[in-house]
Amino acid sequence: MEPFRTLTSLAVPLDRTNVDTDQIIPKQFLKRIERTGYGDFLFFDWRRTASGDPDPSFVLNDPRYNGTKILIAGKNFGCGSSREHAAWALSDFGFRVVIAPTFADIFFSNAGKNGIVLVKLNEEQVDQLLTNAKTIPNYQLTVSLQEQTVTDNRGFKASFEFDPFRKYCLTEGLDDIGLTLRHAAALDAFETRHDEAGWLKAK
């Protein structure tokens, strides 16, 4: 997992509340056996028309936001089922940060384990960012996980709270496997002792 410390990026406004995981990655795409490639299907029912063509009215199809890594959304983002595929789809598309007033608890955990920083700001702050991202060309934000701040070059600055353990994992680029591998030497030593004990017992 790529470490996250500070990111400056174009910000895209998804001015919708209660965005659930089936909207983030619809259920028909959960049959894939790979863990990659889900970005193509992110927000599929919103990004595509009934005929399968890109819907020009959907914000992620607007060329002004090409290359964005920061998503701004309404409250209760990531609600619904606990599918980890939602985090995979956001990450595979290129998002490293989602800013919203609130997030669903299970999605919050899944996102952090997949290198996505979820930033909680109050509704007034999020509304300001949504407006800025809609109306200011090439609107960019800087998110510092180290300082736990969100800033722009127009005077906006907000602080956010973040779980210390999850912050450590993200800044060090450690997912669950990475955390386990930090104890590889101790695990190897335990397995050696275990194997030797089993061999002596069998003898």
DSSP 87-134: HHHHHHHT--EEEES-B-HHHHHHHHHTTPEEEE--HHHHHHHHHHHH
Q: Which has more pLDDT, 88 or 183?
A: 88
Give the position of tokens 């109050």: 122
pLDDT reported for residue 196: 62
Residues constituting the chain: 203
In one-letter notation, the amino acid at residue 174 is L
* Average pLDDT over every residue of 14-37: 91
pLDDT tens column, 126-146: 999 999 999 999 999 999 999
Classify residue 36 by its DSSP letter. S
* Mean pLDDT score across all residues of the chain: 90
pLDDT range class, residue 96, cuts 50, 70, 90: very high
